[in-house]
Amino acid sequence: MFTRREFLATSGAIALGASAKPEPALRIGVMDGVLRLAANPEAAAKAKSLGLLGVQVTLGQNADKSRMLLEDAALQRSWVEAARHAHVTLDATYIDILHVHCLKQDPKAAEFVSRGIAATKAIGAPILMTVFFGKCELLSRAETDYTVDAFRELVQEAARAKIVIGFENVLLADENLRAHDRIASPFFKIFYDVGNLTNMKGQNAAEEIRKLGRERICQFHFKDKGYLGEGKVDFPAILAAIREIGFHGWANLETGSPSGNVEADTKRNLNYLEALLRK
């Protein structure tokens, strides 16, 4: 039997639980660079003001490309405090110096990834996104295999730090499957960019997402040429595929600003996605 006090306390807890909103399966964040605040902790408050739930943080680089900005302990603390104050999640980092030092050929690149793992851990983000575009694009099976071998060593550091290495590239799904399964670690996953694979490679992103599956994808980038919903990227089909595979996690906007008004354009893209997610 409950006492009156126990009954009221229990009833209150049930009511509170019933009114609490469940966490959405797909949460929408933004790259700090989209807000023109790359490596700047002010991006946290800006993201919150636009209704975004998370921020992907650019690690940045100094003038001579010898050090990443987020290796600075004071900057790390600033990001953590800014995110706490704004009530947003630092959902990933982005190691942009890999556009300069290519992991497929430059021995310095692996060292930067190692240091990037440490910086990512310091701000409490769960994923370090590595990039392979431009001169650093993986253009052959040999380049991909060399890169996978480099990741074999780095993923051990990532596992110790409990950081997932996100592999963002323009490889087709079968090559990404091969790379992922050769490493076979929960700390190495595909960071899938729906805009790149649609517009650069002419792929059906929804079909690729289904082929890769929930366990191989750590996060998404959402973008298109122009505003979301007005280009070639089929977001209704992509969101359907993400639901089908049972993915729970983040998609970060990597959108442009056609009008030049970053806040208005980012909000427009977010509103479009939220309308689709409500269906």
Q: Could you tell me the CATH number of the domain that includes residue 127?
A: 3.20.20.150
7, pLDDT greater than 50:
no
Mean pLDDT value of segment 12-25: 56
Tens of pLDDT, residue by residue over 27-67, are 999 999 999 999 999 999 999 999 999 999 999 999 999 99
How much is the mean pLDDT over the chain? 93
Tens of pLDDT, residue by residue over 156-173, are 999 999 999 999 999 999
Tally the domains of the chain. Answer: 1
Task: Give domain status of residue 15, yes or no.
Answer: no
Task: Give domain status of residue 9, yes or no.
Answer: no
Task: Give domain status of residue 47, yes or no.
Answer: yes
Task: Give domain status of residue 220, yes or no.
Answer: yes
Mean pLDDT value of segment 173-179: 97
10, pLDDT greater than 50:
no
Structural domain containing residue 99: 23-278
Tokens of 137: 């694009």
CB neighbours of residue 135 within 10 Å: 11
Task: Give domain status of residue 186, yes or no.
Answer: yes
Task: Give domain status of residue 1, yes or no.
Answer: no
- The pTM assigned to this predicted structure is 0.91
Task: Give domain status of residue 109, yes or no.
Answer: yes
**Would you call 277 exposed, middle or buried from its count of C-beta atoms within 10 A (0-12, 13-18, 19+)?**
middle
Q: Using an 8 Å Cβ cutoff, are 171 and 144 in contact?
A: yes
22, pLDDT greater than 70:
no
Region of poorest pLDDT, from 21-30, 132-141, 142-151, 231-240: 21-30
Task: Give domain status of residue 71, yes or no.
Answer: yes
